[in-house]
Structure 1
Amino acid sequence: MIYDSSPHHPLTPTDLEVPLRMRRLRELGLGEQPDPEFDDFARKLTEVTGAPYAMVNFISEDRQYFAGLHTVAKGDPSASPGRVMDRDHGYCPHVVVRRKALVLDDVCDYPRFAGNPVVDEIGIRSYLGAPLIDRTGTTLGTICVVDVEPRPWGRPGLETIKAMAAELITQIHRREDSR
């Protein structure tokens, strides 16, 4: 676990919902493999927000899995996130535990978030994410967009990411109901 050097708070929050989430993800058949529908949804996120990276992310006890991933970033392809990331990398674990959307126009403005490994390893400077809370009340994961430049997401970004999360949850519920 990574710690913030100032007040010694864990940078990655403790997630007490992991067992429930893992059981629910298994029921839904999610979070273990790439999903073309989620890749399409991530593509849509990049189009709607103009961000270079978008993910549909399911989080376990020790890792994050991007079942949906899209990038329009130019330059070094190795800078693009792969499908798996440690749980202590990035901001989605905070969104899952908080059960609320998170808007970071410039991650460097927030000491708690500026020290995250994705800042140095991938160059992430801004983040916009929302939780995927299903009909059982379980937070399955997140959707998010990130950029290597600061972005003024503001209230419009917050409303957009929340609406997109609701849209994806509806899609997941339809998929479950059609089984």
Structure 2
Amino acid sequence: MIPHAAGRPLLTPVDRDAAVRAHRLRTLGLGRRSDGSFDDFDAFANRVAEVTEVPFSMVNFIDGNRQFYAGLHTPAGTHKGSDLGATAANSSRTGRYVALDRGYCPHVVARRKALVLEDVCDYPRFAGNPVVDDMGIRSYLGAPLIDRTGIALGAVCAVDTVPRPWGRAGLDTIKSLARELVRYMDRREENSLGI
């Protein structure tokens, strides 16, 4: 555990790969929003929400300092990070950045394993997360996005405001969606390199 600036413990696990991940995200041109180049990630987040039947879903890249919602589905369909407590990098863009202590994707990335929380309130470590009180989050299903270099770049997740019995089917679904998105990112990199 590392201390949080507000004096309460930050229960996000220590991320030993943060520097390597941040470099890889910069190389891939991921981790920050520019000129609408992330519309495909928003479309993927919409698909995750549809498949898992949840009000919120994200494609989340984590650079070690913050989280970036490259893909976002919200109940209003606005793709606004402010619906999830995110902030904008500057006043002209929709907020897509959140602190590492908001939500559960940093756990998925640091652990490099899927995380299934049918009811976050059943786990003291996760029940105290700010998203529980701020947004009413009660259920989380996420899987890491591990690219061809073996780096966990981020996570894809489905989030609900009611407890959900995800079961094995939910776990298999989110892992399959993560693999699909990684294949897409690999093709995107190959195309940019002219491979």
Give the alignment's TM-score, normalised by structure 1: 0.91
Shift of 1:62: 2.1
1:58 aligns with 2:61: yes
Runs of 5+ consecutive residues of structure 2 not aligned to the other structure: 87-95
- Counterpart residue number, 1:89: 102
Contact map agreement 1:42 1:54 (CA 8 A) in 2: yes
Partner of 1:47: 50
1:113-152 to 2 correspondence within 5 Å? 113-152=126-165
- Deviations along 1:71-99, one digit per CA (max 9) or x if unpaired, are 2359xx99821421110111001000110
Separation in structure 1 between the aligned mates of residue 127 and residue 103 of structure 2, nearest angstrom: 10
Q: Percent of pairs identical after alignment?
A: 59
Partner in structure 2 of residue 17 of structure 1: 17
> Which of residues 161, 164, 168 in structure 1 aligns to 2:177?
164
8 Å CA contact 2:10–2:101 kept in 1: the answer is: no
User: SS at 2:20's partner residue?
Assistant: helix
**1:102 aligned onto 2:105:** no
Match of 1:68 in 2: 71
The TM-score with structure 2 as length reference comes to 0.83
The answer (yes or no) to whether the contact 1:46–1:70 under 8 Å persists in 2 is: yes
Q: Quote the Cα distance in structure 2 between the aligned partners of 1:131 and 1:120.
A: 25
Compared with structure 1, are the counterparts of its residues 58 and 79 closer, same or farther at alpha carbon in structure 2 (3 Å cutoff)?
closer
Unaligned runs of 5+ in 1: 3-7
Letter in 1 for 2:157: C
Q: Is the 8 A contact 1:101 1:130 kept in 2?
A: yes
Instruction: Give every structure 1 segment of 4 or more consecutive aligned residues whose post-TM-superposition deviation is greater than 6 Å.
Output: none
CA distance in 2, matches of 1:164, 1:108: 26
Number of equivalenced pairs: 172
Task: Give the C-alpha shift of residue 68 in structure 1.
Answer: 0.4
Map 1:22-33 onto structure 2 (within 5 A). Answer: 22-33=22-33
Q: Relative contact order (C-alpha < 8 Å, sep 6+): which is higher?
A: 1
